């Protein structure tokens, strides 16, 4: 099985040019996670040591879901579970490349993101992505030992794994760079999280993803905000994370995007409410004025109407000068011929300038054509 991740630019006509291409070609109809487990076995991507024997990420996923189902039936609460759960069967992940092959002092991070490398897409993409990582921290003794023990220089995927496993924890922020000792401890926690949990029973330990890992995930999220099992597995391998971590990251990312959109919607509705309130107040005032005018002037006076027009592309409403009393709107059917016409006459003056278009949250700076014209 060849499993790769093409990060180069595509010829797609879409606005986003960077796409992940999964070249995983399982032998037959191995589309389910279960079958991928079988395909992965023996390839040495995520070799593990532990009492429960071989374990890989997809198995862990299935185990995760089985545990969820079991807990569902179990009915035990969280606190009980954290203290009484059986040990996680994924004990210790090993890195499969000799530590000596990892550059200790790569170029500074100003060289750009790993996936933007010119060499991305080749078999060496995994190693290339090392550039820009903070490697001032030494790998933990445990990692060195493990890596030296079972390393496989022929595995490019494993070389990528070890890259991320070593740099994980050195996420480039100030505190991390100042506390190398903490990074070591964190790296240990990360590389053998399950084991630690098993040992001290302290429950979940939060891993802080490195900037590079987060950026990589962000790029992937831009392409598709959901992952199929293959993509999840490929990403997890690329980033040396457990598939569950990738899955959780995408879940949280979707939640954050949705929350942001909710905030945008809320802000829009608030402005819309304010606008309508003001409009209502103005119309009431005008009615009073008209009534006063009518009572003082017995002759009926025809008022000019205000015409509303709507932008067909974005449904933005604009107000024309009240010189005409009617407007004719012609809609066309699919064949392009005129289908029907509607005439709208509005006898009430209306303030212009508020878009009826619901705003969209563009997490990746995709501006709406009329966004700049929207009222502030």
Partner DNA sequence: ATACACGGCCGTCTTACTTCA
Partner DNA sequence: TGTGAAGTAAGACGGCCGTGT
Residues in contact with DNA by CB under 7 A are 32-34, 61-62, 64-69, 71-72, 75-79, 81, 85, 171, 173-176, 182, 202-209, 214, 226-229, 244-245, 247-256, 258
- With residues binned 3-state (H G I as helix, E B as strand, rest as coil), the percentages for the chain, rounded to 5, are 45, 10, 45
For the bound state, the minimum distance from the C-beta of residue 258 to DNA, rounded and expressed in Å, comes to 5
How many CA atoms does the CB half-sphere of 236 hold within 13 Å?
25
Which residue, 108 or 203, is less far from DNA as judged by CB?
203
Q: Write 213-219 long-range contacts (CB < 8 A, 24+).
A: 213/164, 213/168, 213/239, 213/241, 215/113, 216/113, 216/114, 216/115, 217/246, 217/249, 217/250, 217/253, 218/253, 219/7, 219/18, 219/113, 219/115
Rounded CA gap, 147 and 142, in Å? 8
Which residue, 75 or 367, is less far from DNA as judged by CB?
75
Which residue, 60 or 146, is less far from DNA as judged by CB?
60
Contacts of 86 (CB under 8 A, 6+ apart): none
Which residue, 201 or 353, is less far from DNA as judged by CB?
201
Which residue, 95 or 99, is less far from DNA as judged by CB?
95
For the bound state, the minimum distance from the C-beta of residue 139 to DNA, rounded and expressed in Å, comes to 18
For the bound state, the minimum distance from the C-beta of residue 312 to DNA, rounded and expressed in Å, comes to 31
For the bound state, the minimum distance from the C-beta of residue 210 to DNA, rounded and expressed in Å, comes to 9
Q: What is the 3-state secondary structure (H, E, C) of 294-308?
A: HHHCCCCCCCCCECE
Rounded CA gap, 30 and 198, in Å? 33
Q: Which two tokens stand for residue 207?
A: 């891993």
Rounded CA gap, 305 and 321, in Å? 9
CA angle (187 as vertex; 181, 192 as ends), nearest 5: 135
Q: Which two tokens stand for residue 251?
A: 């879940």
Which residue, 25 or 68, is less far from DNA as judged by CB?
68
For the bound state, the minimum distance from the C-beta of residue 253 to DNA, rounded and expressed in Å, comes to 7
Which residue, 182 or 287, is less far from DNA as judged by CB?
182
Contacts of 143 (CB under 8 A, 6+ apart): 95, 99, 165, 166, 187, 188, 191
Which residue, 35 or 271, is less far from DNA as judged by CB?
35
Q: How far, CA to CA in Å, does 83 sit from each of 60, 216, 218, 235? A: 20, 34, 34, 31
For the bound state, the minimum distance from the C-beta of residue 136 to DNA, rounded and expressed in Å, comes to 15
For the bound state, the minimum distance from the C-beta of residue 60 to DNA, rounded and expressed in Å, comes to 10
Length of the chain: 376
Cα end-to-end span (Å), the chain: 54
For the bound state, the minimum distance from the C-beta of residue 211 to DNA, rounded and expressed in Å, comes to 10
Which residue, 221 or 354, is less far from DNA as judged by CB?
221
């Amino acid at each position: 099985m060849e499993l790769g991740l093409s990060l180069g630019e595509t010829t797609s006509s879409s606005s986003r040019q960077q796409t992940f291409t999964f070249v995983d070609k399982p032998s037959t109809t191995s589309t389910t996670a279960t079958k991928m487990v079988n395909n992965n076995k023996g390839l040495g991507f995520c070799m593990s040591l532990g009492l429960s024997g071989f374990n890989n990420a997809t198995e862990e996923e299935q185990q995760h879901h089985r545990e969820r189902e079991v807990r569902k039936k179990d009915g035990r609460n969280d606190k009980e579970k954290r203290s009484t759960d059986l040990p996680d069967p994924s004990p210790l992940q090993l890195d499969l490349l000799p530590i000596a092959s990892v550059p200790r002092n790569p170029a500074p991070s100003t060289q750009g993101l790993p996936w933007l490398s010119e060499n991305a897409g080749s078999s060496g993409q995994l190693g290339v992505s090392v550039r820009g990582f903070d490697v001032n921290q030494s790998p933990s003794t445990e990692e060195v030992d493990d890596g030296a023990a079972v390393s496989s220089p022929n595995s490019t995927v494993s070389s990528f794994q070890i890259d991320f496993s070593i740099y994980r924890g050195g996420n480039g922020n100030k505190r991390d760079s100042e506390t190398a000792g903490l990074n070591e401890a964190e790296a240990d926690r990360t590389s053998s999280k399950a084991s630690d949990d098993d040992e001290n029973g302290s429950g979940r330990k939060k891993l802080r993803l490195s900037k590079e890992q987060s950026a990589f995930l962000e790029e992937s999220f831009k392409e598709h905000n959901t992952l199929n099992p293959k993509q999840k597995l490929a990403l997890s391998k690329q980033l040396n994370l457990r598939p569950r971590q990738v899955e959780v990251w995408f879940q949280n990312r979707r939640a954050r995007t949705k929350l942001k959109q909710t905030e945008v919607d809320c802000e829009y509705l608030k402005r819309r409410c304010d606008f309508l309130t003001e409009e209502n107040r103005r119309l009431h005032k005008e009615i009073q004025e008209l009534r006063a005018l009518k009572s003082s002037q017995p002759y009926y006076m025809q008022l000019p109407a205000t015409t509303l027009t709507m932008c067909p592309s974005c449904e933005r409403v604009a107000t024309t000068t009240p010189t005409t009393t009617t407007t004719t709107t012609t809609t066309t059917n699919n064949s392009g011929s005129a289908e029907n016409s509607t005439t709208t006459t509005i006898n009430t003056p209306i303030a212009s300038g508020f878009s009826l278009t619901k705003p969209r949250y563009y997490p990746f700076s995709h501006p709406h054509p009329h966004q700049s014209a929207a009222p502030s």
